[in-house]
Amino acid sequence: MNDCIFCKIVNKEIPAERVYEDEKVLVFLDINPINQGHLLVIPKDHYETILETPENVLQDVILRVKKMAQVVDKISDGVNIGQNNKLAAGQLVNHLHFHIIPRNENDGLVSWPGKEYESEDERLKMAEEIKKIVKEVEEENP
């Protein structure tokens, strides 16, 4: 049995304010909006995070993400697109979703705070480590 709340929305087992759908993708209002008009874009098939989602599914989803950003842009001054993966990153619903968040001048939301590298050496080491992992990931996912 699939206990996923977003699968239940896809299957109309629980209600949602559906604003767009096609064969592959569903868009509905987030029930607790950061700002009014906050949308969630999801694939109709269940994938937990972006990490294991097939590329063809992501292609379908990201094109609808752009379309919905164009929609939200018409009702706001700017648009944030957010996507959380795993609990540590704030993912509470384990069905891939993109947040499309309307933003307005002086809407009171703060951006992510930036940290600093302690030294240039630390920054360069981080870049080297990441470049190594990029190669590893490319080898694992040719």
Burial category of 137 from C-beta neighbours within 10 Å (exposed 0-12, middle 13-18, buried 19 and up) = exposed
Q: For residues 4 and 81, which CB has a smaller minimum distance to Zn ion in the complex?
A: 4
Least distance CB 24 / ligand 5GP (angstroms): 19
The entry of ligand 5GP, Zn ion, none near residue 19 (CB within 5 to 8 angstroms by kind) is none
Q: Taking the mean position of all CA atoms in its chain, how far away is CA 64?
A: 12
Q: What is the DSSP string of 27-85?
A: EEE-SS-SSTT-EEEEESS--SSGGGS-HHHHHHHHHHHHHHHHHHHTTSSEEEEE---
Q: Is 4 among the residues that bind ligand 5GP (CB under 6 A)?
A: no
When binding is defined by CB under 6 A, the residue of 13, 31, 59, 66 that contacts ligand 5GP is: 31
Given a contact cutoff of 8 angstroms between Cβ atoms, the answer to whether 5 and 26 are in contact is no
Stretch that binds ligand 5GP, among 26-34, 60-68, 113-121, 132-140 (CB under 6 A): 26-34
Query: Which residues, 42 to 81, sit near ligand 5GP by CB under 6 A?
Result: none
49-73 in b/e form (b: 16+ CB < 10 A) is beeebeeebeebbeebbeebbebbe
Residue 97 among the catalytic residues: yes
The entry of Zn ion, ligand 5GP, none near residue 4 (CB within 5 to 8 angstroms by kind) is Zn ion
Q: Is 7 among the residues that bind Zn ion (CB under 5 A)?
A: yes
Pick the catalytic residue: 38, 95, 97, 99?
97
Q: Which residues bind ligand 5GP (CB under 6 A)?
A: 5, 16, 28-32, 40, 84, 90-93
Catalytically active residues, by annotation = 97
